[in-house]
Amino acid sequence: MAHVLVVTSGKGGVGKTTSTAALGAALARGGERVVVIDFDVGLRNLDLLMGAERRVVYDLIHVVQGTAKVSQALIRDKRIDTLFLLAASQTRDKDALTEDGVERVIRELRPFFDWIICDSPAGIERGASLAMRYADSAIVVANAEVSSVRDSDRIIGLLDSTTAKAKHGQQMEKYLLLTRYDAIRAGRGEMLGVEDVLDILCIPLLGIIPESKEVLNASNMGTPVTLSNPASAPARAYSDVARRLKGEEVPLVVPSDKSGLLNKLFGRRAA
Amino acid sequence: MTTSRPTTSFKFRGGSFHALVVKPEAPIDAWLADVDGLLLRSPRFFAGKSVVVDVSELSLTKETFLGLLDELSKREIRILGVEGADRSCFDGRVPSLTRGQTRKSKKAAAPAIQLAAPVPISSLLIDAPVRSGQQIVHPHGDVTVVGSVGSGAEIVAAGSIHVYGTLRGRVMAGAYGNERARIFCRRLEAELMAIDGHYIVADDIESHLRKAPIQAWLEKDSLEITTID
């Protein structure tokens, strides 16, 4: 039975879709059966990042509303045959998602996969709420800056109160994925430090993805960064995260800043 | 967030209510004729009203007393209780009432029975961080948070607020009128603090108090903050 993971953040542009694609690909390359679902109905992007935008026939809304079967809507990745995409509709909006429909789609997918990764839209409205509703655990994606961190704090509160798991009195596992981390800027005090973010959010750190132009290159190519350039720093960081998700012990190294000492001498610290 | 009570408690409380007191006079028949006259002029005089019959200045036998009650109910006067009826007359058809003053005078002889302790002031313990966007409202006492209060979170308490962590959100102590309520936290980064409606925003907090462990209280309508080490 699949483990249902939601990738969420509250704030937009922090790297939810990039992380969904990269983690989905990394898990699938390790032999796991993975389906990634785009919940960003009306503003879909995951299909582009997966390079599947020209192969979408049926989407999540068709399945939710019963006009297509789940098996018809699943798009198999051309590079890894255990990786599947369930695209969002671009012509509809989030109101087309129903609670019963989403629950049914996830229930039907569970027996056939090891991982179901729900890519949440930004915000706290219907799309985001339904993406997290039936999850077993959550990856909270944040950047090391105050607005992203506060939005993530808000999302954690919702994960603890509005999900199906919370309503059954269970605790939802939540992990922090710090993305677009720039060690040099953090060292200069232009970003929050890792410690500052952890101090505010109080959830376990799953990984730190360094800021890198490789991520943008991968998006433009329509290939998850873990496949386009597996040796790059962000790809290695995502692969480590995928291994941690599978339960492996992988040491986590906070990217360090070589000029950090100099800045410390000047006494500049993260706000 | 909801709190659950361990057991259901049965609540008692004293209350004073307004009732129309009628005082029949002897002879009863003549008095009833006056009542009829009144009802003729204003038929809805007693409609919807709760009526107490004061018979303390009449000496009635049980028969005349019950007869009076029947006559009144024939006129659709709803009797809430009877005051001053002799115990022998009283058959339990209507409750016997006692005035506050009467009871006070008897207090020395028969001490008042303690029906129930007043509803205890309860405190609310939150054993997790309070996240941005969450609101904790506790109108019955203190709130203690073992963890931090996030930026954009809000706590409203009738009593004091204790935060064993960093206070980054908004807290309102003594929010239902309690100038003696206080706010305590391990690290002050609050957006707003208020006690009994007197508030202070982050900009007004002196820099040496920021990120320090503090307590805040009200003194002459002004919110005072001091560090506690």
- Out of A123-132, A201-210, B71-80, B157-166, which region has the weakest mean confidence (pLDDT)? B71-80
Which of residues B15 and A210 earns the better pLDDT score? A210
Residue in chain B closest to A160 (alpha carbons) equals B131
- CA-CA distance, B170 to A85, in Å (whole number)? 43
- CA-CA distance, B45 to B54, in Å (whole number)? 18
pLDDT tens, residue by residue, A104-131? 999 999 999 999 999 999 999 999 999 9
Distant-in-sequence contacts of B93-102, Cβ < 8 A, 24+ apart: B93/B66, B93/B69, B94/B69, B97/B52, B100/B16
* Rg value, chain A, Cα: 18
The Cα angle at residue B139 between residues B137 and B142, in degrees rounded to 5: 85
pLDDT score, position A111 = 97
- CA-CA distance, A189 to A168, in Å (whole number)? 42
Residue A160, token pair as written in the block: 């603890």
pLDDT score, position B38 = 79
pLDDT exceeds 60 at position B114: no
| C-alpha closest to that of B132 among A189, A165, A195, A161 | A161
Q: For residue A156, give the nearest of B131, B166, B168 by CB distance.
A: B131
Residues of B in contact with A161 (CB under 8 A): 134
Residues of A in contact with B168 (CB under 8 A): 200
Residue A151 sits at the chain B interface (C-beta within 8 Å): yes
* Contact assignment for B131 to A157 by CB distance below 8 Å: yes
pLDDT score, position A243 = 97
At B104, the pLDDT band (50, 70, 90 cuts) reads: very low
pLDDT score, position B101 = 41
Local structure of A190: helix, strand or coil: coil
Restricting to A residues 177-236, those with a Cβ less than 8 Å away from any Cβ of B are 199-200, 202
pLDDT score, position B79 = 78
Which of residues A52 and B101 earns the better pLDDT score? A52
The H-or-E segment that residue A34 falls in is strand A34-38
At B92, the pLDDT band (50, 70, 90 cuts) reads: low
Q: Contact A29/A227 with Cβ under 8 angstroms?
A: yes
Which of residues B213 and B221 earns the better pLDDT score? B213
Residue in chain A closest to B153 (alpha carbons) equals A154
Per-residue pLDDT, averaged over B33-39, amounts to: 83
Residue B131 sits at the chain A interface (C-beta within 8 Å): yes
| C-alpha closest to that of A85 among A132, A43, A117 | A117
Instruction: Please tell me the distance in Å from B199's CA to the nearest CA on chain A.
Output: 23
At B99, the pLDDT band (50, 70, 90 cuts) reads: low
**ipTM rounded to 2 decimals:** 0.76
pLDDT score, position A262 = 47
Per-residue pLDDT, averaged over B86-102, amounts to: 60
Query: What mean pLDDT, rounded, does chain B reach?
Result: 81
Residues of B in contact with A150 (CB under 8 A): 132, 150-152
Local structure of A104: helix, strand or coil: helix
Local structure of A224: helix, strand or coil: coil
pLDDT score, position B89 = 64
Contacts of A169 (CB under 8 A, 6+ apart): none
Query: In 10 A of CB B25, how many CB atoms?
Result: 10
Residue in chain A closest to B129 (alpha carbons) equals A202
pLDDT exceeds 90 at position B155: yes
As a three-state string, the secondary structure of chain B is CCCCCCCCCCCCCCCCCCCEEECCCCCHHHHHHHHHHHHHHCCCCCCCCCEEEECCCCCCCHHHHHHHHHHHHHCCCCEEEEECCCCCCCCCCCCEECCHHHHHHHCCCCCCCCCCCCCCCCCEEECCCECCCCEEEECCCCEEECCCECCCCEEEECCCEEEEEEECCEEEECCCCCCCCCEEEEEECCCEEEECCEEEEHHHCCHHHCCCCEEEEEECCEEEEEECC
Residue numbers of chain A with a pLDDT score lower than 50: 259-271
Per-residue pLDDT, averaged over B40-44, amounts to: 78
Q: Of the ranges A141-150, B48-57, B85-94, which is most confident?
A: A141-150
pLDDT over 90 for what percent of chain B?
46
- CA-CA distance, A33 to A24, in Å (whole number)? 9
Which of residues B139 and B84 earns the better pLDDT score? B139
Instruction: Please tell me the distance in Å from B160's CA to the nearest CA on chain A.
Output: 23
| Domains recognised in chain B with CATH numbers | 20-106 (3.30.70.260), 124-227 (2.160.20.70)
pLDDT score, position B100 = 44
pLDDT score, position B64 = 80
pLDDT score, position B57 = 76
pLDDT score, position A3 = 97
Q: For residue B131, give the nearest of A146, A153, A199 by CB distance.
A: A153
Instruction: Please tell me the distance in Å from B217's CA to the nearest CA on chain A.
Output: 26
Per-residue pLDDT, averaged over B10-18, amounts to: 58
| Domains recognised in chain A with CATH numbers | 3-265 (3.40.50.300)
Residue B132 sits at the chain A interface (C-beta within 8 Å): yes
pLDDT score, position B43 = 78
Residue A31 sits at the chain B interface (C-beta within 8 Å): no
pLDDT score, position A99 = 95
Residue A157 sits at the chain B interface (C-beta within 8 Å): yes
* Full-model pTM: 0.70
pLDDT score, position B61 = 79
Residues of A in contact with B152 (CB under 8 A): 150, 153-154
